């Protein structure tokens, strides 16, 4: 497949900020369940089908975020701009070592040997992106994750459940592996009843409390999301995860400071126990980390 190496619409995302330290760090052992890396285009050409062009944002840049807010573990998520070319994600995973995991978007014809290699590196799931230009079909994503079910892989899905509330149930019926829903399912802040909440209550899926700026109509601290976050967390506190969504792609009017995202976690979860469950215990179980004392 031909790969684009130059700019593509829309304009390139702004570079990552130099992070200021958080006033209140996240709990020891915190795992950021959702961030991306973007390498030099000369080395990691982007897919011509992409709908945005990110600025280079390296693992070294992200490590400064970790130090600033108290993150010790992280999950690198394959972004849509690379299609099924996972080299940037896998290279960062290999460089990061055992503190990191990854979610990939393999080609439909990926071999068992390649999947086994990725598992040894720390890959723990397949991403099905139904919001950005789709790079992997539903049937192919399910086939791949089923091949790795015995190794504990899960399916991570990015879909607009606000507009298509029945889509999750259809996917869950076929998945047969854990399913993780990105970015609060893109539910409207006013949502109080929804099939996603029902699925959480039954333990049928997980959800990431991530990218609040993609849902909120208000400036930080996104007060209009408080009830939705509470509804998701109350539905099943053992199935919620926190993710930074760094480096915050497609936000051309400015990206949030890392410290403000950490502060938002404290605002949403003022008590230590649920905050630690969100940031430490739940991701440790899902991504296969050793428990944290």
CATH number of the domain at 81, please.
Answer: 3.20.20.140
The pLDDT value given to residue 27: 98
Contact in structure between 208 and 181 (CB atoms under 8 Å): yes
Check residue 17 and give its pLDDT.
65
Domain assignment of residue 101, yes or no:
yes
What pLDDT, on the 0 to 100 scale, is given for residue 133?
78
Alpha helices (H) in the chain, listed in sequence order: 59-69, 87-96, 112-121, 138-147, 167-175, 195-202, 226-235, 258-268, 272-276, 282-287
Tens of pLDDT, residues 169-203: 999 999 999 999 999 999 999 999 999 999 999 99
How many other C-beta atoms lie within 10 A of the C-beta of residue 288? 12
Task: State the pLDDT at residue 218.
Answer: 93
Q: What's the structural domain count of the chain?
A: 1
Question: What is the C-alpha to C-alpha distance for residues 253 and 219, in angstroms, rounded to an integer?
Answer: 12
Q: Which residues does 136 contact at the CB level (< 8 Å), separation at least 6?
A: 84, 105, 106, 107, 108, 126, 127, 128, 129
Nearest 10 degrees: Cα torsion 251, 209, 232, 126: 100
Residue 237 lies in a domain: yes
Give the domain range for residue 49: 30-287
Domain-embedded: residue 20:
no
CA dist 277 and 203 (Å) reads 16
Listed as ranges, residues in the chain with pLDDT below 50 are 1-10, 293
Q: Is 162 a domain residue?
A: yes
Query: pTM of the entire structure?
Result: 0.93
* Catalytically annotated residue among 13, 47, 85, 245: 245
| Structural domain includes residue 6 | no
Cβ neighbors of 144 (< 8 A, separation 6 or more) are: 106, 108, 110, 115, 126
What are the phi and psi torsion angles at 253 (to 5°)?
A: -95, 10
In a domain, 66, yes or no: yes
Q: Are 75 and 59 in contact (CB under 8 A)?
A: no
Alpha-carbon distance of 38 to 82, in angstroms, equals 9
**Residue 281 forms part of a structural domain:** yes
- 24 is a domain residue: no
Any catalytic annotation for residue 112? no
């Amino acid at each position: 497949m031909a790969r684009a190496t130059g700019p593509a619409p829309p304009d390139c995302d702004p570079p990552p900020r130099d992070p200021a330290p958080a006033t209140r760090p996240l709990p020891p052992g915190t795992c950021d369940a959702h961030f991306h890396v973007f390498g030099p285009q000369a080395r990691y050409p982007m897919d011509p089908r992409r709908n945005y062009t990110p600025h280079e944002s390296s693992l070294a840049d992200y490590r400064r975020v970790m130090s600033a807010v108290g993150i010790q573990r992280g999950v690198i998520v394959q972004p849509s701009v690379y299609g099924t070319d996972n080299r940037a994600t896998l290279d960062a995973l290999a460089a990061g070592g055992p503190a990191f995991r990854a979610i990939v978007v393999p080609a439909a014809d990926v071999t068992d040997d390649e999947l086994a290699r990725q598992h040894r590196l720390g890959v723990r799931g397949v991403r099905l992106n139904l919001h950005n230009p789709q790079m992997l079909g539903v049937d192919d994503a399910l086939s791949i994750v089923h091949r790795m079910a015995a190794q504990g892989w899960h399916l991570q899905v990015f879909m607009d459940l606000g507009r298509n509330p029945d889509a999750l149930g259809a996917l869950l019926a076929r998945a047969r592996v854990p399913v993780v829903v990105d970015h609060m399912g893109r539910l409207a802040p006013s949502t109080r009843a929804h099939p996603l909440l029902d699925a959480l209550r039954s333990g049928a899926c997980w959800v990431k409390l991530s990218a609040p700026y993609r849902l909120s109509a208000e400036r930080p601290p996104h007060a209009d999301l408080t009830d939705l976050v509470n509804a998701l967390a109350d539905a099943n506190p053992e199935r919620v995860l926190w993710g930074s969504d760094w480096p915050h792609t497609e936000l051309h009017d400015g990206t949030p400071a890392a410290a403000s995202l950490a502060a938002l976690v404290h605002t949403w979860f003022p008590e230590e126990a649920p905050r630690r469950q969100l940031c430490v215990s739940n991701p440790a179980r899902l991504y296969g980390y050793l428990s944290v004392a």
